[in-house]
Amino acid sequence: MNFVEVLGRVFLSTLFLYESVRKYFYQFETIEYMENFGVPEFLFYPSLIFELIIPILLIIGFKTRIAAAAMFIFTLMVSIIFHSDFTNNMQIMAFLKNLSISGGFLIIASYEAKKFTLDYYLKYKKLK
């Protein structure tokens, strides 16, 4: 069952890792998109770094609960900022998808470190 939990962390993180790489290669377009929603350009690099680093921490299971909570907040904020046009069916679907992803992050944040995490290793298998 622990392997299933690892897959869950990987699957939830994949979207954000992909997006960070996409943002890097399409910086101008991403910044323009952000600015169309009132998000200032200076938040581009912090969001890119966040979407790269935090999912990696989640995958390896380092500070898993904190990483999952941070991803929950990030995903919820992205949903509210970019996908709250409820007159557009595609935006409703994107909002609901992100809401579902946020729920996954909340579930991860609610549990203690599992066997296949760096947190577990550091807590129970300390180097001597």
**Cα 62 → chain centroid:** 14
**20 neighbors 14 (Cβ within 8 angstroms):** no
Tell whether the model's pLDDT for residue 51 goes beyond 70: yes
Local confidence band at 33 (pLDDT 50, 70, 90 cut-offs): very high
**Sign of torsion, CA 105 107 110 112?**
negative
* Top-confidence residue, 76 or 127: 76
Of 19-28, 32-41, 45-54, 106-115, minimum mean pLDDT range: 106-115
pLDDT digits (tens, 9 = 90+) for 77-121: 999 999 999 999 999 999 999 999 999 999 999 998 788 899 988
Q: What does the pLDDT average to over 52-57?
A: 97
